[in-house]
Amino acid sequence: MAGAGYRTFAAGEVLTAANTQTYLMDQTIAVFADAAARDAAITSPTEGQYAFLKDTDLLTYRSASAWVTFFGGGAPGSVLQVVSTTLTSTFTTASRSYTNLTGLSATITPVSTSSKIMIWVSIQGVTDTEGIVVGSRAGMLRLTGGNSASFVGDAAADRTRAVASFIQVDGASQRTMSSASGNFEDSPSTTSATTYQVQVIQPSAGTLYINRSEEDTNASVSPRGASTITLMEVAG
C-alpha cells in the first residue's frame, strides 16, 4: 500500500513480496518516456504512486481515479507560467471584418487540463476622423484561441461583438492615441499549445491605427505606443 511511511529493515530480515511492493515499488518515483509508457507499465496504479515523465519534465501522482500533475508550489491558484508578447511597431487596417493584428499573439502550453489561463490585452491606437462627424467611427478588438470566442458582448442585430473599442479623437487631437484593453479567464482544457491572437476591425468607413496617432507627424508631440498580450497559467 502506498504511503506506508519509512521502514528500517533489520540485518538478516527476510524481504517479503508485500514489503517489496509497499516500501519499494509503491513509494518509488518511476521514470517513463511519456504518459503512454507509464500507463502501459503501471496497469493497476495505487493511489499515492508517483511517476516522472521525461517528455514533459513533469512529476505526476495517482489520485483515487486518475494521474494528476504535481505542481511545484502545489495548491490550486499557484502561478505555473507567464507568457507575454509586446508589439512596438505600427499597424494599420481599414478592414470591415476582423483581421489579425500582426505580431500580437502569444502561445502557451498548459501543464494540466485543469489549468486556467488568465489573459490580459492592452492595445494602443486610434480611429481616424478626417472629414466626418466625431463619434461616427469606432475601431474594435477581440481575441481568438481557446474559448475566447465567448469573450465578446452578446449578439444584438447589426452591432459588432467586441472586447473593447478605441476612442475616436476629434480633429484638434489627431496627435493622440487611446487605449483598448480587456482581461479574460479561459479554461482551454488541454495540454496542447494554445495560441491567443488579437484581432481588430474598422467596421465603418475610415482607418484604424495601432501604436501611433492618426496624424503621426514627425515631431515630439506625436506619440508612438506599445501594445501587449500576456498569458498566465494558474493551477486549477
Give per-residue pLDDT as tens, 55-68. Answer: 877 888 888 888 88
65 and 83: one domain? no
Residue 169 has pLDDT above 80, yes or no: no
106 and 163: one domain? yes
126 and 160: one domain? yes
User: pTM, whole model, 2 decimals?
Assistant: 0.71
> CATH number for the domain including 161?
2.60.120.1340
**Is 32 domain-assigned?**
yes
Of 4-8, 106-110, 160-164, the one with minimum mean pLDDT is: 4-8
Whole-number Å distance between alpha carbons of 16 and 54:
31
Relative to beta strand 99-108, strand 30-32 is: unpaired
228 and 179: one domain? yes
- Mean pLDDT across the stretch 118-146? 80
Whole-number Å distance between alpha carbons of 119 and 184:
5
Whole-number Å distance between alpha carbons of 141 and 228:
13
**Is 7 domain-assigned?**
no
207 and 107: one domain? yes
Cβ atoms of 233 and 116 closer than 8 Å? yes
205 and 135: one domain? yes
86 and 180: one domain? yes
> CATH number for the domain including 45?
3.40.1620
Confidence category of residue 73, pLDDT binned at 50, 70, 90: very low
Cβ atoms of 211 and 195 closer than 8 Å? no
107 and 222: one domain? yes
Whole-number Å distance between alpha carbons of 133 and 168:
10
**Is 57 domain-assigned?**
yes
Total residue length of the chain: 236
**Is 99 domain-assigned?**
yes
Domain count within the chain: 2
Cβ atoms of 118 and 77 closer than 8 Å? no
Whole-number Å distance between alpha carbons of 154 and 160:
9
Residue 20 has pLDDT above 90, yes or no: no
Which of 49, 70, 91 is at the close of a domain? 70
Q: Is 150 helix (H, G, I), strand (E, B) or coil?
A: helix
- Count of alpha carbons within 13 angstroms of residue 133, beta-carbon side: 2
204 and 150: one domain? yes
**Is 84 domain-assigned?**
yes
99 and 157: one domain? yes
Phi-psi bin for 79: left (phi > 0), alpha (psi -120 to 50), beta?
Answer: beta
Q: What is the mean pLDDT of the chain?
A: 86
Which of 9, 37, 70 is at the close of a domain? 70
Q: What is the pLDDT of residue 3?
A: 57
Relative to beta strand 67-70, strand 30-32 is: unpaired
35 and 116: one domain? no
Q: What is the pLDDT of residue 29?
A: 86
Query: Which domain range does residue 58 map to?
Result: 17-70
143 and 175: one domain? yes
**Is 11 domain-assigned?**
no
The distance of Cα 167 from the centroid of its chain, to the nearest Å, equals 27
182, amino acid identity: G
**Is 110 domain-assigned?**
yes
Phi-psi bin for 170: left (phi > 0), alpha (psi -120 to 50), beta?
Answer: beta
Q: What is the pLDDT of residue 128?
A: 80
Share of the chain above pLDDT 90, in %: 47
**Is 4 domain-assigned?**
no
